[in-house]
Structure 1
Amino acid sequence: MDEAKKIHNICIYGTGGIGGYFGAKIAHTCNHDQTLAYDCFFVARGDHLQAIRQKGITLISEEKTITGVPAAATDHMDDLPDPDLIFVCVKSYDLDGAVKAIVPKIHENTIILPLLNGADIYERIRKNVATGVILPACVYVGTHIQGPGVIFQSGGDGKILFGADPKYESFDPQPVTDFFDAMQINYQWRTDPYPDIWSKYLFIAAFALATVFFNKTIGEVAADPKATQTAREIMKEIQAIATAKGVELPEHIITKQLAMAAQFPYDTKTSYQRDVASKGRVNEGDLYGGTILRQGAELGVSTPVTRSVYSAIQDRLSAK
């Protein structure tokens, strides 16, 4: 393998629920296997960063509890060596700032793996990143920060589904898959990752909007016929947008995604729901309602249910 294309330095940019989950697994593995030629670095902030610097990051799951200590943790990319692989794990509203921070560290062989909710994340990053390889991806895992330096996994198998950069379709994923194998990270390489990305978006956007609109957990929405029907209608609108974009979603995808909600712990809240509940906190509403409405308008796809639900949410939040 070309030495320039090997992975040595890994950066987890954003060590919240998703970044902390993978960061803990990677750092823990590297801490306990000195034969691995990888160095893992974290970009975090606030009390979470201070806790990680003092005692590493802890991941609590039903399976086990592990702690990993990164090679370094900081709130400035300038403090770190140029990474070969960057996990971008911020919320959608922090994506532009994250991209601005990592751009000076990107070279032609840098691999960027975005693991955040959204169906147009690749396009948003590529708009501002001229070089490097960006691998469109999605991940199924339910996690959140339980406290400074502590991540709690509430569901999902942590599988990363990713595929080729449309700009570099001949990209060889072996350095990444070798790394994932060494870290025992669950993954699957897709020739075309977009059906997976849109399937994930169809689920999370519909349930994000429904959980906030009805003020119910994922389990409560799944158990309520009216709430479930609203989620179904939003899913239909998202599916129509995906079809208009040339993305062919799996057969019976809406039925499958609705059934999947019942597999989550009954009291699971969406990240949008948790953000809305925190007074004064920025939320991901635009990622869901805003994106669906904009793309629907651009593609001539009618989105009346999303418009009604999102407008009601925005009105409610404005009145607080």
Structure 2
Amino acid sequence: MRIAVIGAGGVGGYFGARLAAAGDDVTFVARGRHLAAIREKGLTVRSPLGDLRVPSEAVVPSISDLDAPDLVMVAVKLWDTEDVARQLAPLAEGGAAVVSFQNGVQKDTVLRRHLPAGSVLGGVGYISAFIEEPGVVVHNGTLQRLVFGEYDRTESPRARAFLDRAVAAGIDAEISADIERTIWEKFVFLVGLSGTTSAVRQPIGVVRGDPGSRALLREVMHEVVAVGRAKGVALDPGFADDRLAFCDTLPAAMTSSMHNDLLRGNRLELGWLSGAVADLGAELDVATPRNRAIADILSPYALGDPAATGGADVSAAEAASR
């Protein structure tokens, strides 16, 4: 299968490398120091499931350099989605399928603004991985799962073909019969994990082990469930308790990519996570005080370390739009 991976970070770098190792024709689009390092030494993935190395010729600097892929995996930060979608239009119009494994519940709406609606599959990824240094991606733990599917709930030949390739690559993968619900179920957990680990500045073990922060984690997730149900998504009313039990099974040291970005002084996906829950709640008349508080607490860091950005007076909403 000819696969393009837009973004060679934790998600794109890891899953793309697994597919390449299984014999698929995978091309990565990267930029900056990460691109330069991959061009010089290739992409290295360090994982408890086995280390991988992708050769330097598998990376290009621009989407315009891609040559008619069968499927495009989008794995960039959420603020880049609009720009990426515009650049992907010629490929999608030429028949390429596009599946985003980004965070959030608004990503595919953005993609469909620029791409043929039928070209977009829904997708979610489950993994803890990040760029340790330019050219090197580190996978934490053994969780590595992709779930994807068509929005019309059919099991299409292209979804089946991608499933076959993912399974052949040793990836835990599944086709979802209701991908919108699946995306929201991931969103419930993701907002809880990202919001609380970032606000508390500690991994999940600390968050779930303290009565106060554990209650915060549950309430943050319960608010996401309430917003999703108000939007018509068939989430179980008690799904937050289900996800809290799931959090109890995670490695104590596990954290979120937003917490990692916060500690590194990087820009945050805040406006698409707790900020998005708060904004959607306001639109739907659903109370979201915990998510609003987290969005407000982290607002000064939305564009990165305030000291490094000059302490600019920027609201979370303004930051999310940039």
- TM-score, length of structure 1 as denominator length: 0.87
Matched, 1:15 2:1: no
Measure, in 2, the Cα distance between the counterparts of 1:202 and 1:50: 36
Other structure's SS at 1:106 match: helix
Distance 1:234 1:248 in 2: 18
Distance 1:181 1:209, change over 3 A: closer
What is the CA–CA distance in structure 2 between the aligned matches of 1:135 and 1:190, rounded to whole Å? 11
SS of residue in 1 equivalent to 2:276: helix
Return closer, same or farther for 1:185/1:295 CA change in 2, 3 Å cut-off: same
Given the alignment, which residue of 235, 258, 264 partners 1:249? 235
1:26/1:68 contact within 8 Å kept: no
Given the alignment, which residue of 208, 211, 215 partners 1:229?
215
* 1:108–1:131 Cα contact (<8 Å) kept: no
Q: CA deviation at 1:40?
A: 1.1
Q: Answer whether contact 1:58 1:68 (CA < 8 A) is retained.
A: yes
State the partner residue of 1:35: none
Which residue of structure 1 lines up, in the alignment, with residue 299 of structure 2?
314
| Alignment gaps of 5+ in structure 2 | 312-322
Tell me the distance in 1 between the aligned counterparts of 2:258 and 2:155. Answer: 36
Structure 1 CA distance for aligned equivalents of residues 191 and 25 of structure 2: 35
Identify the residue that residue 284 of structure 2 maps to in structure 1.
299
User: Which one-letter code corresponds to 1:11 in the other structure?
Assistant: A
Aligned-partner residue type, residue 47 of structure 1: R
Deviates more, 1:210-219 or 1:85-94: 210-219
Q: Distance in 2 between matches of 1:61 and 1:234?
A: 31
Once structures 1 and 2 are overlaid, which stretch shifts more, 153-162 or 113-122? 153-162
Q: Determine whether 1:41 maps to 2:27.
A: yes
TM-superposed CA distance for 1:240, in Å, is: 0.6
Which residue in 2 is equivalent to 1:56? Answer: 42
1:133 and 2:119 aligned: yes
Q: Which amino acid aligns with 2:9?
A: G
In 2, Cα distance between the equivalents of 1:102 and 1:282?
A: 24
Give the secondary-structure state (helix, strand or coil) at the position aligned to 1:140.
strand
Q: Which letter maps to 1:161?
A: V
Equivalent in 55, 77, 84 of residue 69 of structure 1: 55
Alignment of 1:110 with 2:116, yes or no, is: no
Matched, 1:27 2:20: yes
2:272 is aligned with 1:287: yes
How far did 1:170 drift? 7.0
Alpha-carbon contact 2:262-2:301 (below 8 Å) kept: no
Q: 1:231 to 1:150 in 2, by over 3 A?
A: same
Q: For structure 1, which runs of at least 5 residues remain unmatched after alignment?
A: 1-7, 31-37
Q: Which moved more, 1:81-90 or 1:248-257?
A: 248-257
TM-score (norm 2): 0.87
Distance 1:216 1:181, change over 3 A: closer
Q: Is residue 107–residue 132 contact of structure 1 (8 Å, CA) maintained in 2?
A: no
Could you say what secondary structure the match of 2:151 adopts? coil
Deviation at 1:84, TM superposition (A): 1.2
Query: Does the 8 A contact of 1:84 with 1:110 survive in 2?
Result: yes
Letter in 1 for 2:262: V
Give yes or no for contact 2:42–2:53 (8 Å, CA) kept in 1: yes
State yes or no: 1:195 paired with 2:184: no
Distance in 2 between the 1:184 and 1:291 partners?
A: 34
Q: Are the counterparts in 2 of residues 13 and 42 from structure 1 also a CA contact under 8 Å? A: yes
